[in-house]
Each structure stands twice: as structure tokens, then as C-alpha cells.
Amino acid sequence: MVENRPFLTFLTHAFLILGFAVVALPVYVAIIASTHDIATLMSGPVPLWPGSHLIENYSMILTSASAANGLPNYSHMALNSLIMAVVITIGKISISILSAFAIVYFRFPFRQLAFWIIFVTLMLPVEVRIMPTYKIVADLGMLNSWAGLTIPLIASATATFLFRQFFMTIPDEMLEAARVDGAGPMKFFRDILLPLSRTNIGALCVILFIYGWVQYLWPLLVTTDPGYYTLMMGMKRMVTVQDGVIQWQLVMAGSVLAMLPPILIVIFMQRLFIRGLTETEK
Amino acid sequence: MFKKLTLAAAALALSATTSLAATEITWWHAMGGELGKKLEEIATKFNESQSEYKVVPVYKGSYPETLTAAIAAFRANQQPAIVQVFEVGTGTMMAAKGAVYPVYKLMKDEGESFDPKSFLAPVVGYYSDTQGNILSLPFNSSTPILYYNKDVFKKAGLDPEVAPKTWKDVEDYSKKIVSSGAAKCGFTSAWITWVQTENLSALHDQPFGTLENGFGGLKTQFTFNGPVQVKHWANLKKWQDEGLFKYGGPVGGDNAATMFYAQECAMTMNSSAGRAGVINNAKTFTPGFAPLPYYDDVTKEPKNSIIGGATLWVLNGKDKATYKGVAKFFTYLSRPEVQADWHQYTGYLPITNAAYDLGKSQGYYDKNPGSDVGIKQIMRGTPSPNSKGVRFGNFTQVRTIVDEEFQALLAGKKDAKQALDSAVERGNKLLREFEAAN
Amino acid sequence: MDTKKTTFDSRLLPYLLLAPQLFITLVFFIWPAAQAVKSSFEREDPFGLSTTFVGLLHYQRLFEDPNYIDALIRTAVFAVSVTALSMVLGLAFAAAVDRLTRTGRVYTTLLVWPYAVAPVVAGVLWWFLFNSTTGLMPFLLQKAGIRWDHDLNGTQAMILIIIAAAWKQVSYNFLFFLAGLQSVPQSLMEAAAIDGSGPVKRFFTISLPLLSPTTFFLFIINVNYTMFDTFPIVDATTVGGPAQATTTLVYKVYQDGYLGLNLGSSSAQSVLLMMIVMVLTFVQFRYVERRVQY
């Protein structure tokens, strides 16, 4: 701080606290709703304060509610979400760091083309190309498999791009020193690039884990075996009730729990996460 | 000892062969929540009743998600044997002649007894071709009825045992309810498209489209901008302005049920399958059940209402053994006790006469007042070409259009005639598009 | 596009390194995209039993359809509004946190987590919050004399999806702006302070101009985000209504293709969307490329 201005500081705090209150409102309401019974939720605006059904609702969602909705156990779905998020994270990082290495440290015909092919996919959303993509996954016999669930989501222009940007900032002297020592490309990659990229990899892990955790439409389409249900699919199924009534208190309890892992990761790995978002994307 | 061993081995071998030989029949459905659980229970019971076939129910999301998933799977040659398709998808499925194995043909090929007459006529009529052949197996059918809050009626000085019969009654009752402060609004409605447009047309014997509401072929045109429909939409707008009617939202109108449970609106019109939900949620008041209201200056004898819900379609491209199993499963599904159980648990209509009779003999309808309102409503009178049902291509989008035009009406951007004319005109374009693609 | 000045010499290795990424991209992105282009010239029934070539018919229909043109304009309005709202808020939060040395980290923690909320869940939360009967917001607004009914009032529906979409993006913008602000050289600020300019003036004369590259980068990212990733929010809150008031381009693709099974038209719409994305991506890429060469 350059100088001390108590009033401005007070305003700053007030603004940030207000900002937090507004940002937190939807989640606060979800938490409140998860502590009431359905009759209370259905009879007018949601109360502002917690009710007395917290333990009941949360133990229901963790035990019997899943079966009552024809879902696998909550813990089973959580495990599936975890597997999916982890596989996607590892897959994306592995293939992206390799291709970024190729693009930055080699000159070869069609390099430009390869880069553009990867880059153009940056934001082709699943909704837009879902039918043909499904057909390919089916033709390859990858329906109902972890491969089908994860591999089509592994291609990532973003991660490739982030690594590329980072490699560009590594001084050329490193490479020259390595060449003087007679190190080949893969040795350079293993002994120099990988260790240097540690922070970037960590940062990407946070971001990509969240990406994998929140997938919904793709797993719904390519799996027919409830054994592959993820939390997002489970929550959505509980909301999609035909001609019936949505058990909002349970949906909210389930959503709150499903939100927790990525939020906790963001909070506890904040430094890495911020670095991942900001420093590499420039 | 030796004997025991061989017995055990034989038993083992036997169980191994039977479990190996069980032909799997995949069944994609859209029943989330409690209904999905019940559906899976039915499949389990069938699987336990025999050992040759194993029905595997798979939840595939909402109705549109299930249909799209099935179509994508068909194109990739990964289709399920059975798929549950909602009523607006009927036009799409019927036009897809190469993709669908008609149920009547399947049952005949597999030598299962299958008599169209054993089904409730209005249900089966909706899903038959013009020759009366049943193309898909009715599974969960429902029809809209009126729900009302007896306590609010009492508070407003109305007789809680007398439900409104005509729209005039609905208007008068609503006025009393709102002016006495018993509730904030008189009535709301789920499914503006299905209840206040399609069913309204059927009840008053008004054509929804040409060629018997589309049953006669793809050249059909919409005609739901007739005087009765225009008058009704104009009334809804007027009642909204007077605070008697509240809009429940597009598509299924999720808010309608919520407003009814919250006792904000004294009456709602929704699927008869919503009955279980109403009973579960109406904890602080007593709900009443009644047929849909009608205009007594248009007709003295309203026609039967039309159904909604979904049926089971069989897809082509499976082997003979699978179809044999599907036929067996359909026979099982049509059993009176299975049907009655599903109907009584869910609130969907009983599909067969036998299931209805079984319920009657069990005294179910006497013990559960209001549970047969929907059945009586679809069974009354003789169905006319206008009350048999509706069958149009691209109907999901047409319903979206009807919703949009209704919203434009309520927002005051168009009057009832303009809104319906525009809906018909836009809908006809989609019909021509469908005709060209099929 | 640049590589390093010095590179490795190997003919086969770079292709091997690229192979997994390229294979997945070609198989799961490029090929389906090509299929979409092909089917945009065809009329086909949903099951794929009969296909006829119709040329540019679907494109022609789209540009004649006032609803499509409306959706195009609406999407632009939506994208710009969400971007503006979430960037202004993100910047304001960042500027505030940047002022606080000790408590800044606490506030950062309090503001970053919405990034981690799944779009599907976010949609459900906002639907619940603004539900006209059970929701908290209509109830509070009623007390303030505002009748909230996003089922009928198109403007309110638009406001709802703008708020919900911006909510998820504020934390992202906040972090970028914060990083940008923290890299503003302290010496510059101190010099300005000695010259007598107050904190507000310093923010507008020094920090903001220095943030312009970040701002441009965020603008592109945010526009892309609102165009595509807001789909679950629209689907859960307004379903594109009332009377198409919140039907964005992506939502229309979904409605016509996924719900309506009109594959030809929805493919044509996808192709147009892809073209928009490519232009945006290209602009972004040119920009980023320029920055790297600084």
C-alpha cells in the first residue's frame, strides 16, 4: 500500500463482503434448501434459515435416496466421477505436453497444419457434433467403456496451447546447453522440460480435474450401464422426473456434496489454480 | 457321496448353461425418480419369472434425450430392442418404417396372443395405424384432469364436494376464491399445449388438424385456430389479466404443480399421473379430483379426452431370439396384475380392460376416490375423429411454437386469433418439412 | 508461427509425439465436424433411412428465417452483456483485493470457488433461486415492488440468464485481473502517488491502460464462453423462452437437432457456429501470438 486511507479501505472491505454475499447467494440457498423437508420447500419462498432436516436429508442422499431413484450408490457415482476426472486430467496433460514439445522444439513439414488442426478444435462444443461423434465411438466399439467415456474428451487444444506458451518462455540457452552435453530430444524433455513444467502441470491438474468432474451430456450418451453413472448424471436424473415431484431437498443435498470436491480443490490448491489460469494462458 | 457330487455338478452345469443362455433384452426408458425404480422392479420380476430372457432397463434421461439416444444408437447399429417414446414422438416413429418392428406384427410372428380389443379403446387408438394395427405397446398413458383444493374452496364459501364442471364455473369459482382472499389465484395449468389446446379441441370435437388430426397421412394441415380454441385462449388471457389464472410455464409447466401445492392457486389441470404427487405434497390440505371443464355453450356432451405419456417401440436389427423375448415380455407387461400394479402405484391409466376390472374388483377405486376420474374421462361417449388423438411429425417443435405463441398472447404482444394463426402457420411449415424428409 | 531458434533434428520423432493428440483430434473432432458439414447439405429423416441432397437449402432457409436472425442478434447481445457484467465485476473485485495486502488472500478464496461449480448444478441453483413460487428472489423483488415473471417477460428472462451466466465467469475474470494488477510495477504507482494522484486516479491512469492486453484476452474468452458453455444454464432456467426471448444460437442447434431431430438444419447451424468460433479463435490467436513476441 502506498498510503493509508482508512475510509477507502473500509469501503473496499464493505464492497468485497457485499460481493461475496451476492456470489454466495445461490449456494447459500441450496444449502438452506438441503436442510428442510419437501413440504416446507413447496409451500412458498425458501426460508432464510436452516431447518431441522439436515442430517436426515444428507444421510438419505448417501444411503437410500440413490436406490429410490434407481441409481447406484452415491459413493459409487462419486468414485466414477473421480475416475473420469482423473483419467481425463492425466490423458489431456500427457498428450498435450508431448504435442507442444513437438511443435515448439522441432521443425518439420506440416507443423503449421498440425498446430491449426489442434487449435481449431478449441471450442467445438459437444452439443454441436454429438450425433456423428457418437457414431464413431459406437463404430470403434467404445460404448460403455472407460475408453469411450474419456478418450474423446482428452483432446485438448487449451492444454497444448498452455504448454506451448510456457515452452516459448524457456530460454534457448537451456536447449543449447543440453545439446552441448549431447542430450537427445527425449532426454532433454525428461530431464529439463518435465521438471520445469511441474508447476504448470499442477495448475492444469486443478483446471482439468474440474473439467472432467462436471461432464454430463457425453457420459449420458455413451453409457447404458448404470455402473458408469457419475454424480452429475445422478443429480440430473433426480431432477428429471416425469409426471412426479422433484425431491428438491435431496437434489440440493446431493448437489452440495457434488460441488464440494472441486470447490475444495480450488480453495486448497488456490495458488496452483491461479497460476494455472493466469500465468500460462497469457 | 459320489451321487451328491454329480448332482451338484449337474446343478452347477445347469445353472451355468441357463445363465449363459439368457438372452439380454435392452430396454431404454425415461422414467426418473420413483417411477424409474418401479419400472426396474417390473423388469426384475419378469426376469425372476423365467430364465431364458433377461430384460435390462436403462435410464437414458428425459423423453427427448431417450428418443435422440435411441436414434443415434440406431444409426450406429447399437440400438436397444425396446425404447420408450413419448406421445409427441409417435409421428416420428411411425414414419420410420424401416427402423420399427410394429408390435402387432412382432406378436403375430412370435405366436403370442395379442388382442387389440383387450386394451382400452382410446389408448390403443392413439397408437394404431389406420387399419387398426397396434404399432407400439402402450405402457404409461395418462390424461389431464382437474385438481382442486378443498380447503380453499371451503374458505371461499364454496362447497368443497362440488368441482367446477364448465369453464363458466371455473371463472365464477375463481372470482370467489380470489375476492374472498382464500387464495391468490383461481387456477393454473400444466401443459398449455396438451391440456389447453390439444385436449380442449378433442373435448369440444374440434379438429386440431386435417386428415383426422394427422392419422390419415403426412399431408395433414393444422386447424387449431378455430373459433373455440380462439375463444378459449382469449379467455385465458382475460382471466390472467383479472388475476384468476396464472401461467405455469412452458412445456410441462413445472410451476403449475408448485403453485398448487403452495396453495397459491386453488385449482390446477395436469396429467392424471400427477395424482400420487398431489397426494404426497398436499400435506396441509385435502385435494379433490374432477374431469376437465368444458364450454356448455359449445357442447352439452364433451367428448373423451386424449392421452399422453409414452409407449414401448421395438426397433429393427436384432436377432430372432431377442424378439421372442420381447414378445414374451410384452405379454407379461400386459398381464392384468402387472398392469394394475403399475397403474395403481403410478397413477397412469390401466392399459387393458382386464387391469381396470381387476382394480374394480379389488375395490381400489372406492378406496381411492378420484383415482378413476381420468379413466372415466377417456372412456366416455364415442370417440370422434377429433378426439382419437393427434399424430403429427416434428411435433416437439410444434409444441414449442404453441408455447411461444401462448407466451406472446399472455405478454400482450398478440391477441388470441393472431397467436393461434401464427402458431398454425409456423406449424404447417414444419409439417411440410417433415413430409419432405419422410 | 514461431519455434525456437534452435531446434532438434529428427524426422520421425515430432510426428510420433504429435500422433496421439492428432489421432484423437482427427477422429473425434475433425471427422464429426466434416460429417456435420456433409449433412448440412442434405435432407434426412432422423433414422438415416433416406437421404437427399438439397444443396444450400438449409442455409437459405436459415437466413430467410426471422427467428434465426433474431437468435443471432440476441446471442450477440447476450454475449456482450455477460462479458461486460462479469468483466466489470471481476475488475472491481480485483482492484479491491489488490488494495488489501493482508486480507487479500482471504477474499480471493471467498471469490474464486464459483469457477468450480458444474454448469448443470449452476443451472439448477439459479432455477431454484428465481422460481416464481418457491424462489427467494421473486419474493424479495415483490417486496421491492417489482413483479418478477421470467416465464412471460422476455426482458426479465434475458436478465436472469445474463446474471446466471456472468456469476460463473466473475471468478475467472477476477483472477486474471488480479494477476494483471499485481504485476503492475510498484515503482510506477509510488511515483504517481508522490506526484499527488489518489488511488482512484492511479487506477484509471496507470493500472487500467496496463491491463488492456488482459482485457482484450478476457473479452474473447468470455464471448466464447457465453456463446457455448452457457447452454446448461439456459436449459435449466428458461428453456429458451418466453417466446424465444432467450434462445441463443447454441440453444437453437440443440432445440432443432437434439429435440426436433431436424438434422439438416441443425447441421447447417452447427457449421455456421463453427465458422464464428474459427473467426473468434483466429482473432484470439493472432493477438496472443503478438504478445508472445514482446
Per-residue pLDDT of chain C (294 residues; tens, 9 = 90+): 556 666 787 778 989 999 999 999 888 888 888 888 888 998 888 888 888 899 899 999 899 988 899 999 999 999 999 999 999 999 999 999 988 877 888 888 888 888 888 888 888 888 888 887 778 888 888 888 888 888 888 899 999 999 999 998 998 889 888 888 887 888 888 888 888 888 888 888 888 888 887 787 788 778 878 887 888 888 888 888 788 889 998 888 888 877 777 788 888 988 888 888 778 777 776 766 555 433
Range of the domain at C241: 56-292
> Do the Cβ atoms of A127 and C231 come within 8 Å?
yes
Indicate the pTM of the whole model: 0.84
Query: Is C85 inside a domain boundary?
Result: yes
Chain A residue with CA closest to C279: the answer is A120
- Top residue of A3, A18, A131, A270 to mutate, by most chain C CBs within 10 Å, is A131
Distance separating alpha carbons of residues B177 and C114, to the nearest angstrom: 44
Read off the pLDDT of each residue in B250-269 and give the average, rounded to a whole number. 87
Query: Is C6 inside a domain boundary?
Result: no
- Comparing CB atoms, the residue among B68, B249, B258 nearest residue C261 is B68
Q: Is the pLDDT of residue B19 over 60?
A: no
Asked if A203 and A273 count as a contact pair (C-beta separation under 8 A), the reply is yes
Query: Is C281 inside a domain boundary?
Result: yes
CB-CB neighbors (< 8 A) of C135 in chain A: 45-46
What's at B25, amino acid-wise? I
Q: Let me know the angle formed at the C-alpha of C158 by C146 and A234, rounded to the nearest 5 degrees.
A: 105
User: What pLDDT was estimated at residue B219?
Assistant: 92
Assigned CATH class of B144-305+392-437: alpha beta
Q: Is the pLDDT of residue B55 over 70?
A: yes
CATH number of the domain enclosing C92: 1.10.3720.10
User: What pLDDT was estimated at residue A86?
Assistant: 94
**Fold match flag (B12-142+307-367 vs B144-305+392-437):** yes
Q: What are the 10-residue block averages of pLDDT along chain A, 282 residues in total?
A: 72 90 89 86 79 87 75 88 94 92 88 82 66 81 88 82 82 83 86 85 85 84 82 80 73 90 85 65 43
User: What pLDDT was estimated at residue C114?
Assistant: 87
Distance separating alpha carbons of residues A37 and A249, to the nearest angstrom: 6
> Do the Cβ atoms of C259 and B397 come within 8 Å?
yes
> In the structure grid, which three cell numbers stand for residue B106, read together?
412382432
Number of domains in chain C: 1
Q: Is the pLDDT of residue B11 over 60?
A: no
A221 contact B CB<8A: yes
Chain C residue with CA closest to B248: the answer is C151
Most confident of A153-157, B12-16, B205-209, C1-5: B205-209
Checking ipTM against 0.90, whether it exceeds it is no
Residues in chain C: 294
User: What pLDDT was estimated at residue B2?
Assistant: 44
Distance separating alpha carbons of residues C121 and A233, to the nearest angstrom: 11
Chain C residue with CA closest to A215: the answer is C118
> Do the Cβ atoms of A128 and C253 come within 8 Å?
yes
CB-CB neighbors (< 8 A) of C45 in chain B: 95-96, 437-438
CB-CB neighbors (< 8 A) of A8 in chain C: 99, 199
Q: Is A206 exposed, middle or buried (0-12, 13-18, 19+ CB in 10 A)?
A: buried
Q: Hey, where are the domains in chain B?
A: 12-142+307-367, 144-305+392-437
Asked if B108 and B114 count as a contact pair (C-beta separation under 8 A), the reply is yes
- B12-142+307-367 fold: D-Maltodextrin-Binding Protein; domain 2 (3.40.190)
Give the position of cell 534457448. A172
- Top residue of A243, A245, A246, A250 to mutate, by most chain B CBs within 10 Å, is A243
Q: Is the pLDDT of residue B45 over 70?
A: yes
Residue among B121, B63, B11 at smallest CA distance from B309: B63
- Comparing CB atoms, the residue among A45, A133, A168 nearest residue C139 is A45
B285 contact A CB<8A: no
Give the position of cell 431441522. A52
pLDDT higher at C183 or B338: B338
Q: Is the pLDDT of residue B30 over 80?
A: yes
Chain B residue with CA closest to C133: the answer is B259
Strand partners, A35: none
- Assign residue A243 a region (left: φ > 0; alpha: ψ between -120 and 50; beta: otherwise): left
Chain B residue with CA closest to A238: the answer is B33
Using one digit for the tens of pLDDT, what is the confidence trace for B345-389? 888 999 899 999 999 999 999 998 888 999 999 999 888 889 988
Query: Is C12 inside a domain boundary?
Result: no
CB-CB neighbors (< 8 A) of C50 in chain B: 437-438
Distance separating alpha carbons of residues C44 and C262, to the nearest angstrom: 8
Rounded to a whole number of angstroms, the distance from the CA of B424 to the nearest CA of chain C is 15
Percentage of chain B modeled with pLDDT above 70: 95
Query: Is C22 inside a domain boundary?
Result: no
Residue among B387, B378, B420 at smallest CA distance from B205: B387
> Do the Cβ atoms of B71 and C241 come within 8 Å?
no
Residue among A105, A118, A180 at smallest CA distance from C10: A105
Which chains pack against B, by 3+ Cβ pairs within 8 A?
A, C
Distance separating alpha carbons of residues C46 and C28, to the nearest angstrom: 21
